[in-house]
Amino acid sequence: MTKIDELRKRLEIFYAQYDIYVLPALKFLLGLFVYLGINSLLGYMEQLDNIFVVLVLALISAVLPLNGIVVFGFLLCTAHCFGLGLEVGACAAILYLLMALLYFRFVPGDALALVLTPAAFFLRIPAAVPLGLGMLRGPVSALSAALGVVSWQFIDVVRRSVAPLYEGEGANALDIIESLGNGLFRDVRLWVLVLASAAAALIVSSVRKLDIDRAETISAAVGCAVYLVIILVGGMFAGAFAPVPVIVAGTAGAGVIAWFLAVFVYQPDYAGSSRLKFEDDEYYYFVRAVPKRGAARRQGIPRSTGGGLVSDGDFGETEELSAGAEKDGAGPEVDYGEKLEETLKDL
């Protein structure tokens, strides 16, 4: 953990000094990656399948909120579908409009979930997005995971099933719409993926908030297990998604990514946890205090390794000691870690 803490501290300092440049650069790179990916997967409108257009969109995305990438991604996918055919374009417009309404109404802060889900599927680690959402966001992020899966499924159906129909001579509008409907609504594998992603996000978010040691690590492991079981059992009825070793390896890799996010964003020092008790006129309060790694050392507070119940007097003494430590310092310090955590959670 020491090396990870050192890396985290260096990134905190670097981000605090250059955040005005880092955020636009990251959004530019993310937009470039997303738009190039869309053009490589679809690319049916030649006017948009151009590196100059991609660079312009990425530059605009760099100065817009992160949701700008979501909007441009929806529009780019819809435009490519119109380049393939009017029927596909109309279906894409309706689908992405509904997705945009749901997204901006319920989960407008989960832009990364939508834009990274296709990349996760392409890299064979689809569980990384729902596990990461559960680790960094709340239960409602299960909707973001589901929307990302539907978006990827639509792109995949257009590539594999609909585009070949336009290459033939006997295709008509009914055949194309039927192919889209079968791929989106009658494909049981889509609903298995939606269920697995939503369940993984919910499980990880719920377990992570439990009052247990190593809750973040346990939540990642449980989320991986739930996702893997649903995919394997669902594959028995809906057809195999991929070879079992590939599914297991991809889910394990996603679990490692989720664990790394937990270690990097959350930094509890469970060895220094303590139980606090205090009261007012109406209630007794029993609180478990888990310091962040290095907090006790920075503030000059001795770590409590017994984990026992601390009395009211002990609680007051701890407050006095903490206040004394602040007086000895040169002045209040900027909490760069908190700034970085808030930015990562917003992303």
pLDDT score recorded for residue 122: 86
Decide if 318 is inside a domain: yes
Question: Using alpha carbons only, what angle is made at residue 33 by residues 220 and 102, rounded to the nearest 5 degrees?
Answer: 65
Amino acid present at 158: V
**Residue 342 placed within a domain:** no
Asked, for residue 339, whether it belongs to a domain, the answer is no
Which of the listed residues 246, 265, 284 is the one where a domain comes to its end?
Answer: 265
Task: Answer yes or no: do 156 and 302 share one domain.
Answer: no
Give the residue numbers spanning the domain of 327. Answer: 270-334
- Final residue of a domain: which of 244, 265, 286? 265
Domain-located, residue 340 = no
Q: How many CB atoms lie within 10 A of CB 278?
A: 16
CA distance 187 to 132: 26
Do 98 and 244 have their domain in common? yes
Residue with tokens 């409602």: 140
Same domain? 188 vs 251: yes
Residue 33 CA to residue 344 CA, distance in Å, equals 19
Q: To 10 degrees, the CA torsion angle through 324, 329, 330, 332?
A: -80
Q: How many CB atoms lie within 10 A of CB 89?
A: 19
Q: Residue 275: which H helix or E strand, with range?
A: strand 274-279
What's the pLDDT at 345? Answer: 55
- Domain boundary residue, one of 233, 265, 297: 265
209 shares its domain with 301: no
- Tell me the torsion sign for CA atoms 34, 128, 198, 344: negative
Tell me if 47 sits within 8 A of 12, measured CB to CB.
Answer: no
> CB under 8 Å to 175, separation ≥6 — which residues?
165
pLDDT of residue 237: 81
| 83 shares its domain with 166 | yes
Q: Residue 153 contacts by C-beta under 8 Å, 6 or more apart in sequence?
A: 183, 184, 187, 190, 193
Instruction: Quote the pLDDT of residue 12.
Output: 81
- Token readout for 240 is 């195999």
Tell whether 181 and 287 lie within a shared domain: no
Contact in structure between 131 and 223 (CB atoms under 8 Å): yes
pTM listed for this prediction: 0.76
53 with 155, same domain: the answer is: yes
Q: Which residues contact 268 (CB under 8 A, 6 or more apart)?
A: 216, 290, 291, 292, 293
In a domain, 341, yes or no: no
Which helix (H) or strand (E) segment holds residue 279: the answer is strand 274-279
Give the chain's residues under pLDDT 70.
Answer: 1, 169-171, 240, 267, 269, 293-347
On whether both 157 and 299 belong to a single domain, the answer is: no
Query: Which pLDDT score is estimated for 154?
Result: 93
User: Which residues does 285 contact at the CB level (< 8 Å), separation at least 6?
Assistant: 276, 277, 278, 279
User: Do 29 and 118 fall into the same domain?
Assistant: yes
- The answer on 177 and 314 residing in a single domain is no
Q: Do both 248 and 141 map to the same domain?
A: yes
Establish if 79 belongs to a structural domain.
yes
In a domain, 73, yes or no: yes
- In this structure, is residue 345 part of a structural domain? no
Q: Give how many domains the chain has, as a whole number.
A: 2
Nearest by Cα to 194 from 127, 252, 292, 275: 127
One domain, residues 261 and 286 = no
